[in-house]
Amino acid sequence: MAVSTAEDAAILRAFALALNGPRGVNPQVGAVLLSPDGTIVAEGWHRGAGTAHAEVDALSQLAPGEARGLTAVVTLEPCNHSGRTGPCSEALIAAGVTRVVYAVDDPNPEAGGGAERLAAAGVEVEGGVHRAEGEALLKSWLNVAELGRPAVTVKWAQSLDGRAAAHDGTSQWITGPQARADVHSRRAAADAIVVGVGTVLADDPSLTARESDGSLRASQPQPVVIGRAETPTDAAIRRHPRTPLFYDTHNLSAVLADLRERGIQRVFVEGGPTLASAFVRAGLVDELLVYVAPVLLGGDRLALGDIGVGTIGDAHRLTVSTIERLGDDLLVVASPRPASAPDPQGAQ
């Protein structure tokens, strides 16, 4: 059955409502209740984990019995599970809603199945309406749901010969101002910036996202320090506008799992070589940003250390998505190739 003009408009309205909610562990979801003639009767949205889901928020605007015969228009398939809150499928059925229109299927294996449950109760269900817009809105959340962990970008800057520092460990500034500005805008787009404690001790980074004039950007990712050593009380990172998280472990999967619980969807790993190598070795990288400066450093301070490649067959093969010139430097953006992908070098 087709979707009415009023329903079509209502789903766009529901997208706008969804954006009132926070980006976090739970998806941003909006809901609109329509009368049979297409008038909006109630609106709702989800205000974050532990609070009412969008459908229930909209239903709560109405007196008992008032939702009978209404159509619910929702950005995400109504859930079918008792998590922090009860199942929306049951709430809609109990309220007497007779039709449900939604954009995106819920990929969460625990919460999914709402559409089937509704249909089994005799509710008309129309899914996939404005699916592309819905998926764009939920991109990060869907990504995390699919990966089962936050998406990980690993960044480093290196000399043309693959070194991250000179022999004495000095590494400021391998790349030029344009490359550094690019890093800052990408930092600001992440939810967390992760560094190894070795980098904190060696470089004392502030890990803030700054404008080119040095002022702080409005959005500041959560700083995260991984490693067993203590971060000094006077370290610059302790003056970050957000209190840093410290993980006294080398179990990166456990760190990512905890960050996910905190609603972090995109992680930016900034250093140094030991931590970057550990993420690569563990296969926990979705995107690599390599800033390459036209400088030679030689010596032993490699951009990556041991990533578990003993022989060429074990090499981590990548697909380059873009190459950009930033002043005198190059930015190469690459992603790991899925294990099953063919090798374009023809080496089998």
| 54 belongs to the binding site for ligand AOF (CB under 6 A) | yes
Other residues' Cβ atoms within 10 Å of the Cβ of residue 4? 17
Number of chain positions touching ligand AOF (CB under 6 A): 18
* CA separation for the pair 93, 80 (Å, rounded): 11
Q: Is 55 a catalytic residue?
A: yes
Give which of Zn ion, ligand AOF, none residue 222 binds (C-beta under 5 to 8 Å, depending on kind): none
Query: Which residues in the 72-111 window bind ligand AOF by CB under 6 A?
Result: 76, 78-79, 83-85, 88, 106, 108, 111
| CB closer to ligand AOF, 41 vs 330 | 41
145 by Cβ neighbours in 10 Å (0-12 / 13-18 / 19+) ranks as middle
| CB closer to ligand AOF, 85 vs 335 | 85
| 134 belongs to the binding site for ligand AOF (CB under 6 A) | no
* Among the listed residues 11, 33, 52, 79, the single contact to Zn ion using CB under 5 A: 79
Residue closest to 188 by CA, chosen among 160, 162, 212, 156: 212
Residue closest to 279 by CA, chosen among 168, 196, 339: 196
Contacts of 270 (CB under 8 A, 6+ apart): 155, 187, 193, 194, 195, 199, 205, 207
Largest alpha-carbon pair distance within the chain? 76
| 88 belongs to the binding site for Zn ion (CB under 5 A) | yes
* CA separation for the pair 294, 132 (Å, rounded): 41
* Among the listed residues 13, 53, 130, 149, the single contact to Zn ion using CB under 5 A: 53
| CB closer to Zn ion, 27 vs 196 | 27
Catalytic residue among 55, 77, 270, 287: 55
Which stretch, 47-55, 128-136, 183-191, 280-288, contacts Zn ion (CB under 5 A)? 47-55
| CB closer to Zn ion, 88 vs 285 | 88
Give phi and psi for 305, each to the nearest 5. Answer: -100, -130
Residue closest to 10 by CA, chosen among 144, 173, 129: 129
| CB closer to ligand AOF, 75 vs 171 | 75
The two beta strands, 266-271 and 151-159, are parallel
* Among the listed residues 16, 49, 236, 295, the single contact to ligand AOF using CB under 6 A: 49
Q: For residue 40, what are the β-bridge partners? A: 34
* Among the listed residues 14, 27, 123, 187, the single contact to ligand AOF using CB under 6 A: 27
Positions that interact with ligand AOF (CB under 6 A): 26-27, 29, 46, 49, 53-55, 76, 78-79, 83-85, 88, 106, 108, 111
Active site residue ranges? 55
Interface ranges with Zn ion (CB under 5 A): 53, 79, 88
